[in-house]
């Protein structure tokens, strides 16, 4: 029979090891965070929606910005605005913020995980995969009763042929 203290020590060591295994991956994506004016951030988001409009996805405006663009994404219970259509292999700067509560942007198949906090802007540089396809985007921070509905997709399309 295993002593309760021994079991607790083994469980704690296992969890600590699993947590440490994540550190190298998290260190690969530094995230700069600064205070912002929420109204100005929303205006930048809407400006991008107008400039790169590409229809709608699940009722949310979708944009198709060219590689090298600065993209403003606003989290709001219970969606990400706007939806994204990115060029394969393209590099983008994502500016993330939240209109209400803390949200977590998670794109599991892309290895992306960033937080969006109200009153703050987080800027990250990302590269779309080289292979076209559709990738799940979801909120991984509990944000209220409709949290399970806060999903979207990132569409990756082939780069135009010269």
Reading the chain (162 residues) residue by residue, the pLDDT tens digits are: 455 565 555 444 444 444 334 433 433 345 678 999 999 999 999 999 999 999 998 889 999 999 999 999 999 998 999 999 999 999 999 999 999 999 999 999 999 999 999 999 999 999 999 999 999 999 999 999 999 999 999 999 998 877
Torsion of CA 41, 42, 43, 49, to 10 degrees: 120
- Does the predicted model carry a pTM greater than 0.85? no
Query: What is the DSSP pairing of strand 60-63 with strand 112-116?
Result: unpaired
pLDDT at 160: 84
Residue 66 is predicted with a pLDDT of 97
How many whole angstroms separate alpha carbon 89 and alpha carbon 128? 5
Which tokens belong to 157? Answer: 């399309």
Say what the pLDDT of residue 57 is.
87
Q: What SS3 string covers 25-85?
A: HHHCCCCEEEECCHHHHHHHHHHHHHHCEEEEECCEEEECCCCCCEEEEEEECCEEECEEE
Q: Give the three-state DSSP class for 109.
A: helix
- Tokens standing for 82? 């706007």
pLDDT of residue 30: 52
Residue whose structure tokens are 């921070």 = 141
> What pLDDT does 39 receive?
94
Strands 79-81 and 70-76: antiparallel
Q: What was the pLDDT predicted at 19? A: 39
What pLDDT is stored for residue 28 in this prediction? Answer: 39
């Amino acid at each position: 029979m295993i002593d309760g203290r021994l079991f607790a020590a083994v469980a704690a060591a296992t969890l600590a090891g699993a947590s440490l295994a994540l550190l190298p991956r998290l260190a690969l994506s530094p995230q700069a965070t600064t205070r912002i004016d929420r109204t100005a951030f929303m205006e930048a988001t809407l400006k991008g929606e107008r400039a790169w409009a590409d229809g709608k996805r699940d009722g949310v405006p979708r944009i198709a910005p060219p590689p090298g663009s600065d993209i403003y994404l606003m989290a709001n219970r219970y969606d990400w605005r706007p939806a994204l259509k990115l060029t394969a292999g393209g590099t983008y700067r994502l500016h993330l913020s939240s209109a209400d509560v803390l949200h977590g942007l998670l794109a599991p198949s892309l290895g992306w995980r960033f937080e969006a906090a109200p009153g703050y802007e987080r800027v990250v540089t990302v590269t779309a995969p080289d292979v076209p396809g559709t990738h799940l985007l979801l909120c991984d921070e509990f944000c209220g009763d409709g949290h399970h509905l806060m999903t979207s997709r990132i569409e990756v399309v082939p780069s135009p042929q010269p």
